[in-house]
Structure 1
Amino acid sequence: MRVGIVILPDQRWSVAEHRWRRAEEWGFDHAWTYDHLGWRDLVDGPWFDAVGTLTAAAMVTSRIRLGTLVASPNFRHPVHFARQITGLDDVSAGRVLLGLGSGGIGFDSAVLGGETLSPRRRVDRFAEFTELLDLLLREDRISWRGNYFAAVDARSNPGCVQAPRVPFVVAANGPRSLRLVARYGQGWVTTGLRDGDDDSLDAWWRSVADLSGRLDETLAAAGRDPATLDRYLSLDSAPVYSLSSTGYFTEAVGRAAELGFTDVVTHWPRESSWYAGDEGVLDEVATEVLPKLQQRA
């Protein structure tokens, strides 16, 4: 089991740099940040861009993999974004993991003044975004047109350090997005599902198991070997914060492993609001739990 951590881009680099360095020193396998223009009740900031943050993180680390959790078409265009990702992959010497998702409603989808898309249209747009981004990162001189995006003789030279391109970790819970995982993903990430009628922890774990089963069916229908796909679980989408205690984190990692996940992701504790917790628990998990997981690998 590999373990990753999300470091929100909500601190100036004078504070954030220590966190990215520490994540690598502790032995986390991957570190992520959110790719939003603003997020939920943290929208008034401080808040920083994901690509700039990850570029800075690449400069102060040397081993840990770095990624977006997740980038979306809400404000990204594949042509420009491909250039940014190519640059980030170069600066990091091939350590980029590109988390991609369809994008929800909220600040990101409204701040540019565009229309609010239905869930179906958001997935339509995401399918175009993923297809074009895949082409741009694998090939040079791309001309392509869809309903939401277009490219006219777009250049991608010199291409990614990683071949044939940076790995896509595709966020998906619904059937159409799961098919995108099967077609384009080197990884799948899920948040599970929260049911308003039963918002218990057990119900969330049942949803995770159900989604994992649906992915198996989707891969089988596509003729894809499940062993070729990494599976990431965002632990903090559950009703309980994964770093609420060392014991709970250990239990959550064990349950994820039983369901066939190869990777789990937690969040750096914040003082309040989202992911509020004690950094002492993070320190304990990093120094006591991570080494044991690495020994079993």
Structure 2
Amino acid sequence: MSEKLVKPVLLVTGLSGAGKSTALNTLEDIGWETIDNFPFRLVERLLKTPPSSSRGDSDPPLAIGFDSRTRGFEPDKLVESVKRLQNKQDYQISTLYLDCAGGELERRYSETRRRHPLALDRPAKQGIALERTMLAPFRSWADHVIDTTDLTANDLQREIRQQFTLDKDAVTTITLTSFGFSRGVPNNIDLLFDVRFLANPFWDPALKLKTGLDADVAEYIGKDPAYPEAIDKILDLLAFLLPRYQEAGKAYVNIGIGCTGGRHRSVHVAERLSKDLRASGFSPNVLHRNLASRPIEALESMQKSNGNRGI
């Protein structure tokens, strides 16, 4: 008989302004189902509700956010309710408490011009003190406590990812997109490399109708004296940046490689970078946006008229 899986449930609470929304958004990014300000008396019913049909057969772990604004919020009674839920064998329930120094919370409320939920007609300092007293039972009892006083939003996101990532082996999805500047820059590009400085095969009659996927086009581009050093420098930069993007939890990195028409130089360079990145342990996807576009001499001529032999 297979062992029954226990569903993780994380209760996220803490002082208003300490970063609960950031924590919940980050949890959602890494695969948790998240709900904020849900009435706690309905939690057990929620846990028994099957997941959305859009998730297929998966039943993701659940993160529930609540604080002093939540309907029916009574800390002592809530702690007792959580203890009762923890005794149920179907769930692994833990609590994350987000703390922050009062002075820093006052600064945050001042900068955002928002009112503290417990001090709508009083100084924020009074509301912060009242809420800290109300939440004391959770602060002393929580399984996880993160003090955000000295953390930026990015720091908190990184901390949440380190502690609660479900798939420790998850990797950043890398996509290399070749394109032609004459047809516009693609959306959502994180890193952009312009390779119009390289010798242009378009002006060789034997290569004009071919693409960067053809060996003789690749050979033509590779003969440019600037080519070897340019490829090495781009690869050095990617080798430096990509692991750091992954450490920061960036799910997608889109790298654009542009030339004039998007059929020769950018296509070849994207393929070359993809091959070298795979050899370095990455698994990039490659898209050639303008590979099937017809050559337009007028567009190439506009670039050539700038006086650069490669452009």
**TM-score with structure 2 setting the length:** 0.29
In our comparison, the structure showing a higher alpha carbon Rg is 2
Which gives a bigger RCO, structure 1 or 2 (Cα 8 Å, sep 6+)?
2
**TM-score with structure 1 setting the length:** 0.30
